[in-house]
Every structure is written in structure tokens, then in C-alpha cells.
Chain A
């Protein structure tokens, strides 16, 4: 697509073909910032590219910011959790706003994030940092004492998460002190949280000029397995409260622009608990689901709201009306093999023949023995569904958990 030199020049931090494709088809100039293994590919396909290895920030970190500045780049967009603080550092130079770097650090550390949220008057569960296994046992006991459990009652579980990893990576659920022994030492330090019984959901909110311009609610059918958009009417009824929560979050974290991706629980009495927030595109291909139902490209949406040269009119014209403009419900399910030994991929007939079934990204098994899942693990691929009825879609997604895709 022809590029408009009057609009912003955007750097994409990290390698994502979907993002590159979106940028290619958008009217803004862009450059991909990625490790050197991407160079050959970019040359071959004529993709604008700057080589950079995203390791820990160090003395040389200013180099990339200055390179981009000299190129005339206006803003950098993080595509992955690992590039969030890089974007913060780079944008504080490009936009001449040193506060952005501090903000990005806050968004990278789950413990700091929770404290900040708490300070901002946002409800969070009980949480604590753990440096070793003893800390975990102590926390498990204390949480369950708080809940007035007697010895012998089944414990409420606690959740362990790495400070700085995306989504379900390193996420464990612990119920008994025995299970603590299964945690490898190298996973410490971790963040511990009490378990909240409730309805977990995520939000993708595009923010421009300090205001929400599009707010999507993603409904989890089962955490780590399945999600669909837009949310069912039962969850959408909380939209006013959810919007209020997000506005509070934006204020607390001082977010002027960009895409935020927070997670919440809503408990049975309608109270919202903040889980965490990420300053990058969500996993689980929620962007693709949004494009299936709303027709807009969510990467382009992010480029738009990050771009300091974007006008309010352009932003307004870009986004559709939430829920009303969706032409159905789209969801996806992450497949984990259920058997210990598998020989091939076979999509169950009932799935393939279902009118809601769209496509899948499963690949034949590379090994016959399935590695035992520690923590939440990684799924083997996604299956996509789309249909008219949110309840049927939800039940369908739930039902996938009982099926074998690898036999």
C-alpha cells in the first residue's frame, strides 16, 4: 500500500508476520526491529528492517533508540512481553517523555503492577512475592487461614506466576504443601496470588489521547483453553462497570495511548478484581478473532493509536461500534494432546462437520510420546470457530476439552 509521509513512521519491536502483513497493508511507513536471524528473510521479501537483539537493557540500549530517531521514526510498538520495556525506553527518547520508561517497567513486573493498582484504589486479590519454597508454603497456609478453613478441609488453591512472562507461561496452581516440592528452584522468584472464584475475562482496550476508543471483552470459556469475542450478553451486561474499571486503570498507570490488555475476575456479587495488565497484543490470537467478527485489523488499530500524528477523526472513523457491529461470535480452542502416546493428528468428525467450525492450525505430532505438562504448558495449536449464537459457541468450545485430536 502507498505510504502517507504525513502520517507517523512506526517501529515494530519483535517478529510477528501477522503484524508485518498488517503494516504492509496500512498507509503508514514502518520498520521491523528484530534479531539478526530475520535479516535474510526481510531482504528477500523487501521488508524494512533494523537488526537488534533484545536482551536485557544495558549500556548499549540507547543505540537502537538513537538509530530509530535518526531514521525519523515517530514511535515504537511492542509486540511481545519481552519488548515492552524496550518500547518504553525507545519511546521516552522518540517522544521526549522520560516518564514512559518508568511506566513500561511498571507494566513488566507483576508485583509492582499489583501494588500500583492497589495504590490507585483498584481491588486486587491477596498477593505476595516468594523467593523460595518456604514462602509458598507459608502463603498457602495463611490464605487458607484467612478463609477460615479448618485442618482437613480442602485448601483453596493459590496461583504462582513468573514476574515477567506473558500469559500462562510459568503459571502453576498449588493446592497442597506437597505440590510445592514440584516447583524447580530456578523458577523463583515468583508472584503468588490467592484464587478468586469467579468469572475470568480479559479486555483489549485501545487508548488514544488518554481515552478508550475501542473496548473489547474477551470471554474465557476455560482459562488456557478457549476464548471467544465478543463476550456473551451475560458478561456484556457488565460493560459499564468494566469500562469504569479500565478508565481507573488508565488513570492509575497514566496511560496516554496504546493497547492495553488487562485481565479481571468478576465475582458472583458483581465485584471486579484486577488480575494483571499487559501493554502488548494478547496471545491466543484474539486479534484474529476480532478481525473475523468486526473486520478491522487489530495490529493496524494499535499502529493508529500509538501514532502521535493520528488525528481524533481518523481514530474515530477507524473503529466500529462494540458488539453492535460484530457479525457473529468467533472463538478458538487450544488443543493439548490427552493421551500419553500419539501417532497422528485426526480432527474428530463431529468437529469438522460442525457448521461453526472454521479452520485449525494443528500440525502432525513430531514425537510420539507427549511430554507431561508442568505448569500450564503450551498448546499444540488452535482451532477456530465462528457462529451466530454465543451460548452454542461457548458450549462447543467447552465440549472440545473432552475430545481427542491426537490419537
Chain B
């Protein structure tokens, strides 16, 4: 710090404690001004409060001082007119973005909101809208999600965008952790990791990072975790010390040496240890890859054991022995361990028995990647292994876990859905797409007989090239996105929603050509809701469609709502199954290309991802609740039967959900009058 000789000659900078006291006097004055101002004048007084609060929080003891003023700040109108005014609807995962912001005011207001919730959680501030328990819950989640703030120094990127401000969230989280206790954070984080892992995403890097954070925490003698963190052992060990021979995380080379000197039974022990951990968590240790390559030289029996195969998978392995060996040789490295899990599940699915799949896999093994594809893969996933091996890992994972495809942070839900659907329903078509994209840098699809080349189509839905994707999506999505957008462009001028024509052409012949939508495209108002629902029941609900299980995955459109049931946007999903769940409730099981399907859509509609009969990667809702968020579905026009005779009661329940959520401001005037009439009667 450079002191100007003139400016500070008269006064010496006061010691830190005095500095805080001085700042607090200014802060209290600013809060008082804000409090006194009329609502319209409050925005003008905010800047001074936020700026002074920022300086206070940068001082030792500053966060505690702000916590003590939390109620005064909120009463004065600090959060007025912003999302923070309704803390019951705040979403913990959004804190990360706010705290990383380059705008000091965003960082400060987010921090003050956390401190306010801390005061609520501690029982010092009785809040009209959120309980102490809820506040506590929110804070532990926010901390678990931002663990990097507790234990990491600012990254280069943070320093670049935030400068000294990067210190503020760290001081805040230290204060939060001291008040709430580290043990709560860790347990919450562990639950969170398990919840995500139960959905078996293709991309496990973020989860691995969180597990690493816990491991670091556990190893740090300065952090007292108390009785917490017990559940972390399985997670940590699945990555770093899965079996007896790698318990202490000795490093790849030492482990390889140890394998050399093992006999059959010791290897058997290692193999089953890895397989158990892998199928338990969906995570694969790099040591597992070392073992796999070692076992190639031993027996197929041990190999099957190490992949944890059932009799189905074992049959498939033995049938396609050469191919599986080649896949392991080219795709399984310590840097690509997830390939093992993908391979395991692919073998279990038995898709190699479909005639085109095995030869297509051989093509994949020998595929020459274009310059562009190699660059993209290295850029996004590093160059620890060759781009070809990285892509092979991606292909195995996608074929093994078709419902693990995520769209990343991109508006490309349609493309992600298509990839998932092909991997699930038409695996050799997917392999064809991968070959075209990776080798030729071009995909050609047909729309109503006309070819559409991804190379000639100008732009996609995404304005930037997406990077945060799995290896297959990384190469294929840019092409699909452009083709999808071009199909949409070719529908310009047609009446109604373009998905009617685009969906079947884009996804595959099995998408029903029949199409229903319950929103009038021109006005955005609800249109023929009752008929729409009766028809949906008739087409999909086993009680009304002659007990016919859903055959092919069907694209559908939903209106996504937030935890306050407010409309957020239109979103693409795949309907997969409609069954009775273990509690005998009729449920729709579906795929959501969003990265985390466990979402709260408000009005008691909470999407479940485990515990209600879901398979890995499936999301589910009771039939009525799913129907209440649905706005588009497809059906086979030849099978169109009678509209379902659902009871008015059930229909009213669904319509009630619609009207209380995304449909609230879309009810056409006539409907409204009708319902008023009913109410009045």
C-alpha cells in the first residue's frame, strides 16, 4: 500500500479494532438512513449500506457484527424487491454464482442474506417467512456446495475477476462454519453426493472434487469433524483406497508392482473388491484400471469378476471376448477409469447382441479423429490420455448409462435428449452419429425428405460452443444443435408449435407423429386443457390404455417451475415408463437432460430420483403431478382411442396443480369465468 505523504501526515491509521468500530458507526448511520427512507427512495440509500457492509465484513469480527445487525438490515429494507426478500424460496446452489460475481454488490447482498439466515438459524431472529430449521438446512447446503470457499485459497480466475473481494466469501464461510459447526457441513455434503451418485451421471468430475475436499478435511488435524463424516468412507475409498492392496493410496506404479506378485486368490480378492465399490457408488478408482489391464493377461473369469458381471454380462463378455479385450486395451487407463463402469453396464444391457452394434464398436476402435475433434477433446478433458481413448471411454459410458447424459450449463436439452434416446433405444445409430461427428466433422439428417447438413446450418440454439460436456456430447452436440435449430427454421410460418414436426424427424421414427399441446402458441394461454389431459391419460396411463406399457421412449415437453411454483421455462424430457411404484401409486418415470433431476417444482411437486422404483438416471413423479407440468406429448395417431373417462375429481386435482403453478397467468378469460361460476355455486 502506498501512502501519500500529504494525506496521512495528520492522522495515523488507527488499529484494527478501532477501524471496525469506526466503520460500524458509519454503517449504523447508513442503515438508519435506509430505514427512514420511503420505499421509492430506498434504492438510492442502498449503495452506501452495501459498500460499508462490505468493508465491515472484510474486518476481523466484521461478519459477527453484521450477523448481529441482520434483523435491522432486513427491516430497513435491504432485500426489498429482490429475490432475497423471500428467503424461503432461495436455492442454495445459486449462492456459488453470486459469491463468485465480479460485482461487489452481488457478493455483499448474498453474504448478508447468509448472515441473516444464520441469525434465524441460531434463533436470534424470528423471521416471518422462514423457520430456524429451514434456515439451518439452507445454510448447511450452501456451505457444502461451496466447500472450496472454506478450504481453498482464491484461484487465479477469482483473483482476476474479484480482486481483494475474493477474500470476503472466505471470511463469511469461516464465520458460518464456526457458528454452525463443521460436522453439519460434512454430513450434508455426503448426503448430497450420494443423492447425485444415485442418478449415475456420466460426468463425475464435480463429485470427485467434492469427495476430494472431504478427504482433505478428514486428513487435516486442525479440523474437528466430531462424529460426522462416517458416511464418507465408502466414497473416499472408492476413489483412493478401494482394496487391501491400495488401502493407503500408494500410487499407480507401486500398485502395479504389487499385482505382479499376487496369486490367483489374491487377484480374485482385489477384483471383487473393486467391482463391489464400483457398483455401489458408480465411481471407479484409477487403481481399478491398473488391475483390468493386468488381468487381460490372466483369465476371463477374473476379468468378469473385476467388472462385477452377472450371468448376462458374463455371457456377453465371453461371446464378444476379442472385442471386449480390445475395448479394455484401447479405452481403460488410470486416467479413464469410468470406462470400466460403462463397459460393465453395456455388457449387462446385452446390446452387443444386436447385429450392427459389435461391428460399429470395431469401427469406433479404429476411428481416426479429425483435427478439430482432437482439439476439442484435449481442451475439455486434458491430454492425460489420447483423445481417441477419451472418446472411447465416453462412448462406453453413454451406452452403459443412457440416462446419465447431461446438457451441462447449455441450452441444448433437445440434443442431450436425442443422444440419450439413441443410446437407450438405437445404439448403432448413436455410434453412427459419433463416427460422422468425430471423423467427418459433419452430420447430415433429413427433414421431410430434405437433407440438412450441420456444416451448412448457420447457428444453433447455443450461442457459444459448449465445453462442460461428456466426451461424446462434446463432439456431437454442436452438430445436433445446429440441425435442430435449422429444422425449427424450416417450420417458420407454419401454424402451431414446431415440435410437432421437428421431434419425430429429429429423434427417430418411433416418436409418435400425433401431437398435442395445451398452450395456444400465439397467446401463450392455456388451450383445451381438459381434452389434452384426457387424451394423455388415454395414451399413457395403463388404467386407460388397455394396460399397455410404454414401448418406445417418447419426447415430451414440460413447463418447468421453481420451488415457488413460478414458471421458469419450457423443457424437453423423455417419457420412459409408466408403472405402479412400490407404494402402488401410478408413476411416470422419465429422463431429464438437466444435470440434476432431483428438483423441487413447487406446490408439493418434488421430482424423485431414488426410492420410488427409479432405475439409475430416471426421475419420477406420480402420474397426476407429471401431467400437471406437461404441455406437449406425442402419440401414435393410428392408436388414438377414446378420450379417457377419468373422474372429474382426478381431473380437477391435475388442473388445480396447473392453475397454481405455471398456468396461473395463462388461464383464458372464459375458463376463469367458468371456474368462478363453479366457486359461486
Contacts and interface: CB of A to CB of B under 8 A. Distances in A.
Interface in A141-194: none
A35 B7 CA distance: 45
B641 interface: no
Contacts, number: 75
A299 to B, nearest CB: 12
Contact of A21 (B22, B37, B102, B164): B37
Interface string A384-407: 000001001001101100100001
Contacts of B102: 344, 364
Given A352-B55, A359-B47, A47 B4 contact: no
A407 B159 CA distance: 13
Contacts of B162: 344
Contact of B40 (A45, A345, A396): A45
Interface string A339-371: 000011110011011110011110010000000
Given A17-B41, A352-B55, A360-B51, A389 B10 contact: yes
A94 to B, nearest CB: 27
A17 B7 contact: no
Given A355-B22, A359-B51, A17 B6 contact: no
Interface in B1-19: 1-4, 6-11, 13-14, 19
B6 A395 contact: yes
B156 to A, nearest CB: 14
B161 interface: yes
Label chain B's interface by main secondary structure. Answer: helix
B44 A47 contact: no
A343 B161 CA distance: 8
A45 B51 contact: no
B7 to A, nearest CB: 5
The winner among B4, B9, B44 for most chain A CB atoms within 10 A is: B4
Nearest to A345: B104
B38 A392 contact: no
Nearest to B26: A358
A24 B7 contact: no
B44 A17 contact: yes
Contacts of A17: 40-41, 44
Interface residues of B, number: 35
Contacts of A122: none
B7 A353 contact: no
A18 interface: yes
Given A346-B163, A359-B30, A41 B51 contact: no
Contacts of B44: 17-18, 21
Contacts of A21: 37-38, 40-41, 44
In this complex, the member of A20, A360, A364 whose beta carbon has the largest number of chain B beta carbons within 10 angstroms is A364
A364 B38 contact: no
Interface string B544-583: 0000000000000000000000000000000000000000
Contacts of B22: 355
A396 B10 CA distance: 11
A345 B163 CA distance: 9
Nearest to A398: B6
A224 B40 CA distance: 30
B40 A344 contact: no
B48 interface: yes
B13 A359 contact: no
A359 B6 contact: no
Nearest to B38: A24
A350 B3 contact: yes
Given A359-B47, A360-B51, A346 B164 contact: yes
A47 B40 contact: yes
Given A17-B41, A349-B1, A395 B103 contact: no
Contact of A350 (B2, B30, B52): B2
Given A361-B47, A364-B102, A350 B4 contact: yes
A399 B47 contact: no
A295 to B, nearest CB: 13
Interface in B102-126: 102-104
A354 B26 contact: no
Given A18-B44, A344-B102, A355-B22, A399 B11 contact: no
A366 to B, nearest CB: 11
Contacts of A407: 163
B103 A364 contact: yes
B39 interface: yes
Nearest to B102: A344
Given A17-B41, A360-B51, A364-B102, A355 B14 contact: yes
B4 A353 contact: no
A343 B157 CA distance: 13
A359 B48 contact: yes
A399 B8 CA distance: 11
A353 B164 contact: no
B2 A359 contact: no
A371 B499 CA distance: 46
A168 to B, nearest CB: 23
B4 A399 contact: yes
Contacts of B161: 343-344
Interface string A263-275: 0000000000000
Given A345-B104, A346-B163, A359-B47, A399 B6 contact: yes
A386 to B, nearest CB: 10
Contacts of B41: 17, 20-21, 24
A353 B19 contact: yes
Nearest to A358: B26
Interface in B141-180: 160-164
Contacts of B55: 352
Interface string B280-291: 000000000000
Contacts of A392: 7, 9-11
A392 B47 CA distance: 26
A18 B162 CA distance: 32
Given A24-B38, A353-B13, A359-B30, A395 B7 contact: yes
A125 B102 CA distance: 49
Given A20-B40, A344-B161, A359-B52, A396 B7 contact: yes
Contacts of B14: 355
B11 A355 contact: yes
Contact of B163 (A344, A355, A360): A344
A350 B164 contact: no
Contacts of A360: 47, 51
Contact of A354 (B7, B9, B30, B47): B7
A354 B10 CA distance: 12
5 contacts: A21-B44, A350-B3, A353-B13, A354-B7, A398-B6
Interface of A: 17-18, 20-21, 24-25, 41, 44-45, 47, 343-346, 349-350, 352-355, 358-361, 364, 389, 392, 395-396, 398-399, 402, 407
Given A21-B37, A358-B26, 16 more contacts: A18-B44, A20-B40, A20-B41, A21-B41, A25-B38, A45-B38, A343-B160, A344-B163, A354-B7, A354-B8, A359-B26, A392-B10, A395-B6, A399-B7, A402-B4, A407-B163
The 10 closest A-B pairs by CB, nearest first: A45-B40, A21-B41, A359-B48, A395-B6, A399-B4, A346-B163, A396-B7, A392-B10, A399-B7, A364-B103
